Chains A and B, each alone.
Chain A
Amino acid sequence: DAEITQSPRHKITETGRQVTLACHQTWNHNNMFWYRQDLGHGLRLIHYSYGVHDTNKGEVSDGYSVSRSNTEDLPLTLESAASSQTSVYFCASSESEGSGTDTQYFGPGTRLTVL
């Protein structure tokens, strides 16, 4: 069955370290998204991609970067982790139908703690 996976599921790191969170989907979806979820804020978009070599900034992109070298993967990198980046991170993907629901399917999430 097609799926979307994230790794690691839990990560503890220290302030200033570089961290990369992996996202892999087997639906062959063109669109991929990274969100963070914090109490009281809901899901906020960090970065997104509509195809290979395409990346775009979301509303909370400072301190994060992504790259899209193939259809299946969109890794999220925190260049220098800060305590404010402690959060739950969700990856999602969707098809580019141009009509219909274009439903986003979410991965299981990564809980990141920055000490």
Chain B
Amino acid sequence: GQNIDQPTEMTATEGAIVQINCTYQTSGFNGLFWYQQHAGEAPTFLSYNVLDGLEEKGRFSSFLSRSKGYSYLLLKELQMKDSASYLCAVRDGDYKLSFGAGTTVTVRA
């Protein structure tokens, strides 16, 4: 089976940095995805890692360590619009994904 863990909630101040951790134990590994989901909306793709290291995309960065079964999503220069749930998902072999329960990030003024 798949086991993907991430914190339930995080709170941070506008302009700050927040790091959302994700640990996984899966039967296989073929890539890790991060999605953003605003309340009442569909998830939207943020980032993808398949090799160890850091991928940077503007204010968002994602890191992967396959040997440790660990990833994090880094959100810099937080804005109020970043208040959302962030979903970690692992592709274990073919094309389907297994998702963690999601981390709700609240950005305070």
A binding-site residues for B, Cβ under 8 Å: 31, 33, 35, 40-45, 48, 50, 58, 90, 94, 96, 101-109
Instruction: Check if B48 sits within 8 Å of A104, measured CB to CB.
Output: no
Selected from A33, A41, A103, A106, the residue in CB contact (under 8 A) with B96 is A33
Instruction: Check if B42 sits within 8 Å of A109, measured CB to CB.
Output: yes
B binding-site residues for A, Cβ under 8 Å: 31, 33, 41-45, 48, 87, 89, 91, 94-102
Instruction: Determine the distance from Cα of A94 to Cα of B94 in the docked complex, in whole angstroms.
Output: 12
How many contacts between A and B, using CB within 8 angstroms? 51
Instruction: Check if A43 sits within 8 Å of B87, measured CB to CB.
Output: yes
Selected from B42, B98, B101, the residue in CB contact (under 8 A) with A106 is B42
Query: How far in angstroms is the closest Cβ of chain B from A82?
Result: 23
Instruction: Check if B33 sits within 8 Å of A42, measured CB to CB.
Output: no
Nearest CB to that of A102 among chain B residues? B95
